[in-house]
């Protein structure tokens, strides 16, 4: 038996592809199973079932038993979630460490130098642009606030002032 579509969609949200979702939910219902049995239950091609089960084992959703034929054991959902959470935390920490290491390298000094050279060639009137999306706006605001010496001015069109209700929400000007 495979889980409901809603549950399969939730598994997608945590990073499982379609075949992984189907096979994991079927494996949970059986506890222990072979790739062939799971393939038949889920309509996942048998040749792919082995790869999918290995991927699930790497992600912490299954354990591979040393048996003939090879069998797979499901990991309880709460434990599987903790496994993937730890894996993501470790990957994120590795990325942060690489970024911190890069930030302290001579390469950043070289890039800063290039930026400063380029900045000298730019007319201040050309230092405006448009930002779309809250993420871009927040990143740009963070940069402006960090580098501001006296004032920060944010200008927007009247259309940009309208909230989702269509009413004007005011303007924003600030200083540091």
**Which pLDDT score is estimated for 3?**
84
Whole-number Cα distances in Å, 65 to 27, 71, 130: 13, 5, 56
Query: CB-based burial of residue 2 (10 Å sphere; 0-12 exposed, 13-18 middle, 19+ buried)?
Result: middle
Question: Cα-flanking dihedrals φ and ψ of residue 116, to 5°?
Answer: -60, -40
What is the predicted pLDDT for the residue at 135? 83
**pTM, full prediction:** 0.62
Q: CB–CB of 14/84 below 8 Å?
A: yes
The pLDDT tens digits of the residues spanning 110-125 come to 998 888 888 677 666 6
Tens of pLDDT along 133-162?
888 878 877 776 777 777 777 777 777 556
- Give the pLDDT of residue 160: 58
What pLDDT, on the 0 to 100 scale, is given for residue 158? 72
What confidence score (pLDDT) does residue 163 get? 55
Rounded CA gap, 156 and 176, in Å?
20
Name 62's bridge partners.
74
pLDDT of residue 122: 66
Q: Report how far apart, in Å, the C-alpha atoms of 152 and of each of 64, 102, 123, 142, 172 are.
A: 59, 30, 18, 11, 10
Contact residues for 23 (Cβ-Cβ < 8 A; gap 6+):
38, 42, 44, 49, 52, 53, 56
> DSSP of 125-163, one letter per residue?
GG------SHHHHHHHHHHHHHH-SSEEE----HHHHB-
Burial of 67 (0-12, 13-18, 19+ CB in 10 A): exposed
How far is it, in rounded angstroms, from Cα 152 to Cα 172? Answer: 10
Q: What is the pLDDT along the chain (176 residues), one digit of tens a residue?
A: 678 899 999 999 999 999 999 999 999 999 999 999 999 999 999 999 999 999 999 999 999 998 888 999 999 999 999 999 999 999 999 999 999 999 999 999 999 888 888 867 766 666 566 777 888 878 877 776 777 777 777 777 777 556 544 444 444 444 44
Whether the link from the prior residue into 30 is cis, omega within 30° of 0, is: no
Token digits of residue 127: 């230092």
pLDDT at 95: 97
């Amino acid at each position: 038996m495979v889980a409901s579509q809603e549950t399969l969609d939730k598994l997608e949200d945590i990073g499982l592809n379609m075949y992984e979702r189907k096979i994991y939910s079927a494996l949970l219902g059986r506890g222990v199973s072979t790739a062939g049995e799971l393939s038949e239950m889920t309509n996942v091609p048998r040749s792919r079932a082995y790869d999918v089960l290995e991927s699930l084992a790497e992600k912490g959703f299954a354990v591979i038993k040393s048996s003939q034929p090879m069998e797979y054991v499901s990991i309880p959902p709460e434990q599987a979630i903790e496994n993937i959470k730890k894996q993501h935390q470790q990957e994120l920490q590795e990325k942060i460490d690489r970024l911190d290491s890069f930030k302290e390298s001579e390469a950043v000094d070289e890039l800063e130098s290039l930026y400063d050279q380029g900045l000298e060639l730019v007319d201040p009137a050309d230092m405006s642009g448009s930002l779309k999306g809250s993420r871009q706006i927040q990143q740009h605001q963070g940069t402006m606030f960090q580098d501001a010496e006296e004032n920060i001015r944010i200008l927007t069109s009247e259309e940009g002032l309208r909230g989702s209700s269509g009413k004007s929400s005011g303007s924003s000007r600030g200083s540091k």
